[in-house]
Chains A and B, each alone.
Chain A
Amino acid sequence: MDERAIGKARPPKVLVTKIGFDGHDRGSRIVATFLRDAGMEVVYTGPWQTISGVCNIALQEDVDVIGVSSLAGDHLILPKLMDALRAAGLDHIKVVVGGIVPDTETELLTSAGIARIYHPGATRDEIVDGVAALAAATRRSAAPLEAQP
């Protein structure tokens, strides 16, 4: 299926959130606005979410992508989010991380199943295009087999 066709049928739905203790939300607010202005449906939670809380929102809102902002080391907890999503049967949802992730900790996140890491300096187009593509991939993997081309 054409990714743009999915966008026309129903715009990608993205949960923009922060998990853990940090409150710096300038990045997540800007990314949420960029995605919304690109035509996506954005669920914005604000900071301090818990892993179980994020899983519940993802389920209730039927999101395609979860974007987690991390600026102060909170990304170290994300392997637990991936475990929780699997346990809840939500592992078709793609998870991306934006913020400060040292290169030495990339492996920790990618091996846990994080689809993409956006570092400071990532452009609007990189983020919007990347999230749209991941949303399309989520829909493909969630769609029943006969619906796929």
Chain B
Amino acid sequence: MTELAESNAGLPEGYEGARARWEAEVAGHLGADAPRVNRSGLPVQALYGPDDWDSSRYLEDLGFPGQDPNTRGIHATMHRGRPWSPRMVVGLGTPEDYNKRMRELYALGLTGLFVSPCNSHLRGYDGDQVDRELLGVCGTLIATSEDMERCLDGLPFEKESVSIGDTAPYTLTAMYLKVAKDRGIPWSTLAGTTNQSDYLSHYAALHMFYRLALPGQKRVLLDHIEWMNQHVPKWNPLSVIGQHYQQAGATPAQAMGLTLSAAIQYADDLVARGKEPDAFLPRVSFFFDVSISFFEEVAKFRAGRRIWDRITRERFGAEDPRSRRLRFHTQTSGADLTRQQPLNNIARVTVQAMAGIFGGLQSLHTDSFDEAIATPTVTTARIAVATQNILQHEAHLDDVIDPLGGSYYVESLTNRMEEEILSVIEEIDQLGGMYAAVQTGMVQKMIGASSLDFQEKVECKEQIVVGVNEYTTEGDESEYAPVPERPDPQKIDAYLSRLASFRSHRDQHRVDGALAALAGAFENETENTYGLIVDATEAGATHGEICQTVRDAVGFGEPLIVV
């Protein structure tokens, strides 16, 4: 028999026979003694085929892009019609430092703005209230609307959507509104996101927020959403964040499940206030982490879209197609990056970015390769932006919508991830929702167990990390590491004296009145407080003063942290 005849000889045996023959051939050669699982704990087969995915359910399970259940993407045209937006988290030094960095990145093709405040602001302080060693080290100093004006000077933000890293009580967004007003830009045209408004993910996982008692957190957020929906209709006042859970150690499936549970909680809370789901759901956005577990991440996003579509329809009766779309920003996972052999991180970020793009993201932050060493420099941020430009323009990843759709593996994995995600949502439901669940410590324990499990795998080399526990080299840690850029002490001095001058030159009587009005609004359960935060900002109250007023009104809260 010729070789060709020998291979064709199998044809009459049919599908079952061919499969049996393949199984016999690989038996003992595919490491059955060491089964492989992905990060979410799902087994990974060596091969997927028609037995693993029922393609006859195309319309129910996948549909066309922009159609229910939105598995293949939330827009009909997806990246082919409009590429994803490269949106980089930038936060450093003084407002002038931020402005300079943003101008540099704009020149390199960045389109989306992202304002990230100094960590001291997240704790509710102004720059003149804290140790100066830490000022502007991580995030930009922004205590007043004048600071915000300097951040945005000359940047065409009215043409872009702006993402503001703003936690309760959402003072930075109020400053942004003041700047827009001063520039004569109507609020009705402003597009953007209160990017860190999801307090539940901060309570349970990241803890980068201003600590208020939970009922107060809840009220401040719901007031913010209601007020923004009414006055700044194109704004996304709620960004539900999966990144925090996953960076803290949750598996991809757990992170998606917890995020959707948080979104359900917020939607329930707004419905309880008498809001129509179709009035607020179209402006709910999401923010996810994307790890290097490539296919798992693609499946996570596809399954997440399908579940959210169903939840909005079945639980909330949403009829507007926009209410059912899981719109999301994605950031590549910093936890995957290594200090050792740091240039390897460029390869890691590229794979993570591809997973997010194939997963159908709307905007993307790619980490700089020095993320595990220091706050990124302009050079490393440039490479991170270039990575996105290369993936779009050279690799042409924006050519085909949902290019992995229909893959036996990806569809099967999407189904399995969906089951895992749904089981997390069910677990949270049984505890009475996410607001109750985070107070039991159950979410924190789930995340802690997963982070420990992953670290154990690294310790015993079940999970290889190149340059860390395998393929190591001596003295490579800082070979290519750029020197971190710390804020110039003279600029910090100038910033602080300007802040002092701002305080002494403002109309103190007006500030006092605005803060008193804000405090008074909290005494009335039915009054919306966010408009008064906007007023106080306009009157010249600083971030720290507004934070203190809100905390005095609703009380201090300590998130439950479980080791």
Q: Which residues of A are in contact with B by a Cβ distance under 8 Å? A: 20-26, 29-30, 32-33, 36, 44, 46-48, 72-74, 76-77, 80, 100, 102-105, 119-121, 123-124
Question: Please, could you name 26 A-B residue pairs with CB atoms under 8 Å apart, sorted by A?
Answer: A21-B119, A22-B208, A23-B202, A25-B207, A25-B248, A25-B561, A26-B247, A26-B249, A30-B452, A33-B452, A47-B207, A47-B561, A72-B137, A73-B134, A73-B137, A74-B134, A74-B137, A77-B133, A77-B134, A80-B131, A100-B374, A102-B484, A104-B483, A119-B477, A121-B338, A121-B469
CB of B375 within 8 Å of the partner chain: yes
Q: Are B248 and A26 in contact (CB under 8 A)?
A: yes
Q: Place the interface of chain B in its size category.
A: 35 or more
A22 — nearest CB in chain B belongs to which residue?
A: B119
**Does B174 reach chain A (CB closer than 8 Å)?**
no
Selected contact of B459 from candidates A36, A80, A123, CB within 8 Å: A123
**Which of B122, B137, B452, B478 sits near A103, CB closer than 8 Å?**
B478
Contact A124 B459 (CB under 8 A): yes
Determine the chain A residues whose CB is within 8 A of the CB of B563 once the complex forms.
29, 32-33, 36, 44
Contacts of A100 in B (CB 8 A): 339, 372-374
Beyond A22-B138, A102-B484, whether A121 also contacts B468 by CB under 8 A is yes
Q: For A121, what are the chain B residues with a Cβ–Cβ distance below 8 Å?
A: 338-340, 465, 468-469
Q: When the two chains form their complex, are residues A21 and B122 in contact, meaning their CB atoms are under 8 A apart?
A: yes
Within 8 Å of chain A (Cβ to Cβ): is B389? no
B133 and A102 within 8 A (CB): no
Q: Is the CB of B481 within 8 A of A102?
A: yes
Residue-wise interface mask of B (361-386) relative to A, using a CB-CB cutoff of 8 A (1 in contact, 0 not): 00000000000111100000000000
B554 at interface by CB-CB < 8 Å: no
> Could you mark each residue 450-468 of chain B with 1 if its beta carbon is under 8 Å from any beta carbon of chain A, else 0?
0110010001000001001
Residues of chain B within 8 A of A48, CB atoms compared:
123, 207
Q: How many angstroms from the CA of A72 to the CA of B469 in the assembled complex?
A: 24
Alpha-carbon distance between A22 and B455 when the two chains are bound, in angstroms: 22
The 8 closest A-B pairs by CB, nearest first: A23-B207, A73-B137, A21-B119, A72-B138, A121-B468, A46-B561, A103-B478, A120-B339
Bound complex: CA A47 to CA B123 (Å) = 11
Any chain A CB within 8 A of the CB of B213? no
Judge whether B277 is part of the interface by a CB distance below 8 angstroms. Answer: no
Contact yes or no, A20 B119, CB < 8 A = yes
Which A residues are in CB contact (< 8 Å) with B311? Answer: none
**Residue from A23, A30, A77, A104 within 8 A of B208 (CB atoms):** A23
**Contact partner, B120, options A21, A25, A29, A47, Cβ 8 Å:** A21
Q: Which residues of A contact B335 (CB under 8 A)?
A: 26
Per the bound structure, the CA–CA distance linking A46 and B206 in Å amounts to 12
A72-B119 contact, Cβ under 8 Å, with A22-B138, A24-B206, A26-B451: yes
Which residues in B have their C-beta under 8 angstroms from that of A124?
Answer: 455, 459
Q: Mark out the residues of chain B between 124 and 139 whose CB falls within 8 Å of any chain A CB in the assembled complex.
A: 130-131, 133-134, 137-138
> Closest residue to B562 on the A side, CB-wise?
A29
- State whether A29 touches B134 (Cβ < 8 A): no
CA distance A77 to B515 in the complex (A): 33
What is the chain B residue whose CB lies nearest that of A48? B123
Contacts of A72 in B (CB 8 A): 119, 137-138, 375
A42 to B118, CA, bound (A): 31
Q: Indicate if B448 sits at the interface (CB-CB under 8 A).
A: yes
B207 partner residues in chain A, CB cutoff 8 A:
23-25, 46-48
Greatest chain B CB density within 10 A among A26, A46, A80, A104 is at: A26
In the complex, which residues of chain B have a beta carbon less than 8 angstroms from the beta carbon of A29?
A: 448, 451, 563
